[in-house]
């Protein structure tokens, strides 16, 4: 594994010193946002984590190596150049071909675990796509959450998905989902959806204690922390649903599916909302970085 895993000096030292670290995905840079918002947001996320006394580790694949802890030059490369998007199934091929790729939620979890990082911050997880009963389009993120040990902080599943089926999948596969200061599943752009969660937590300390209990029980799989977008940036759940349905219908007409569907839908929604949804996306992931940093710091103290 050492042949393919390149850990930055800062991350390596932090692991040796047992300092808190938060993993960050790179798909948000290459596929989730346009330039320059992508690089600006990525840099701000790292600073938010640092402000909490935690080391950020943005992860990507560059020249066939899993890089844990991108530097500024590497992040700018991802922001300005077209690269592949890697999930679990893509990793062996991309690495063996010395290619470049950003990492999805699933791939970032795998790479973070390889490096020994326990906390991962993202915007929203993938899930069961609308119409999956016909297309069988289900994100690999869900299987990864079921088997990879990680604490994942998100603003729920991406709103373009079938949230009810996504939650059913998570429950069936034993993924503990915690609502942070909420009783309902956040819907990415919106603070709440109609889906009630089984468990609510109100502090990072509670989350850290739950993580500790899970580790003591040697239970596999992830803990998913659903952290709602701040109220001042939250968009209407019903209005966003209407726009999402329009974007999905257009994607069907164009024959867009698979890995290309999510970036297409996010871009379409940004245009329809005159970038309001983009700014909401930025604020929600910044909010997740704050909570992720707090959790990682408390865990390291425990």
- The confidence band for 133, taking pLDDT boundaries of 50, 70 and 90, is confident
List b or e across 14-43, with b for residues whose CB sees 16 or more CB atoms inside 10 angstroms.
bbeeebbbbbbbbbbbbbbbeeebbbebbb
Distance between CA atoms of residues 287 and 23, nearest Å? 15
CA 218 to chain centre: 24
| % of the chain exceeding 70 in pLDDT | 100
| % of the chain exceeding 90 in pLDDT | 88
Mean pLDDT over the full length of the chain: 95
- The confidence band for 179, taking pLDDT boundaries of 50, 70 and 90, is very high
Is residue 135's pLDDT more than 90?
no
The whole-number average pLDDT for the span 55-75 is 98
Considering only 135-139, 142-146, 188-192, 296-300, which range has the smallest mean pLDDT? 135-139
Is residue 263's pLDDT more than 90?
no
pTM (2 d.p.)? 0.94
Tokens of 90: 């893509």
The whole-number average pLDDT for the span 43-64 is 98
Would you give the DSSP letter of residue 128?
A: B
Tokens of 263: 């970036």
- 162-171 per-position pLDDT tens digit: 999 999 999 9
User: What does DSSP say about strands 55-62 and 65-68: parallel, antiparallel, or unpaired?
Assistant: antiparallel
- 198-232 per-position pLDDT tens digit: 999 999 999 999 999 999 999 999 999 999 999 99
Q: What is the DSSP string of 183-246?
A: SB--BTTBS--SPBPSEEE-SHHHHHHHHHHHHHTT--S-EEEE-PPPGGGPPPHHHHHHHHHH
Is residue 38's pLDDT more than 80?
yes
One of 6, 85, 158, 290 is an active-site residue; which one? 158
Is residue 250's pLDDT more than 80?
yes
pLDDT attached to residue 262: 82
State the angle between helix axes of 276-301 and 37-50 in degrees (0 to 180), rounded to the nearest 10: 20
pLDDT attached to residue 69: 98
CA 55 to chain centre: 17
Structural domains of the chain, with CATH: 5-301 (3.40.1790.10)
CB 81 within 8 A of CB 10: no
CA 122 to chain centre: 3
Distance between CA atoms of residues 231 and 284, nearest Å? 10
* Residue 46 designated active-site: no
One of 25, 37, 144, 192 is an active-site residue; which one? 25
The whole-number average pLDDT for the span 40-66 is 98
* Residue 286 designated active-site: no
User: What does DSSP say about strands 55-62 and 199-201: parallel, antiparallel, or unpaired?
Assistant: unpaired
- The confidence band for 295, taking pLDDT boundaries of 50, 70 and 90, is very high
pLDDT attached to residue 259: 75
- 10-34 per-position pLDDT tens digit: 999 999 999 999 999 999 999 888 8
The whole-number average pLDDT for the span 153-158 is 96
């Amino acid at each position: 594994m050492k042949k393919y895993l390149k850990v930055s000096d800062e991350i390596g030292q932090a692991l040796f010193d047992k300092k808190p670290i938060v993993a960050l995905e790179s798909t948000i840079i290459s596929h989730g946002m346009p330039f320059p918002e992508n690089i600006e947001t990525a840099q701000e996320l790292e600073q938010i984590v640092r402000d909490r006394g935690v080391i950020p580790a943005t992860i990507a694949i560059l020249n066939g190596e899993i890089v844990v802890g991108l530097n500024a030059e590497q992040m700018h490369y991802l922001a300005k150049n077209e690269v592949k998007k890697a999930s679990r199934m893509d990793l062996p091929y991309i690495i063996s071909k010395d290619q470049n790729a950003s990492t999805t939620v699933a791939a970032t979890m795998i790479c973070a675990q390889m490096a020994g990082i326990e906390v991962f911050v993202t915007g929203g997880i993938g899930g069961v796509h609308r119409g999956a009963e016909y297309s069988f389009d289900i994100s690999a993120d869900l299987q990864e959450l079921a088997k990879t040990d990680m604490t994942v902080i998100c603003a729920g599943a991406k709103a373009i998905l079938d949230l009810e089926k996504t939650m059913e999948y998570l429950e069936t596969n034993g993924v503990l989902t915690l609502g942070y200061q909420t009783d309902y599943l956040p819907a990415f752009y919106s603070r709440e959806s109609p889906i009630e969660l089984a468990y609510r937590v109100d502090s990072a300390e509670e989350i850290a204690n739950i993580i500790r209990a899970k580790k003591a029980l040697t239970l596999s799989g992830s803990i998913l922390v659903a952290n709602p977008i701040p109220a001042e940036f939250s968009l209407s759940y019903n209005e966003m649903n209407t726009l999402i349905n329009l974007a999905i219908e257009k994607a069907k007409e164009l024959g867009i599916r698979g890995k290309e569907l999510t970036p297409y839908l996010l871009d379409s929604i940004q245009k329809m909302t005159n970038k309001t949804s983009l700014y909401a996306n930025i604020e929600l992931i910044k909010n997740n970085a704050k909570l992720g940093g707090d959790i990682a710091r408390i865990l390291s103290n425990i």
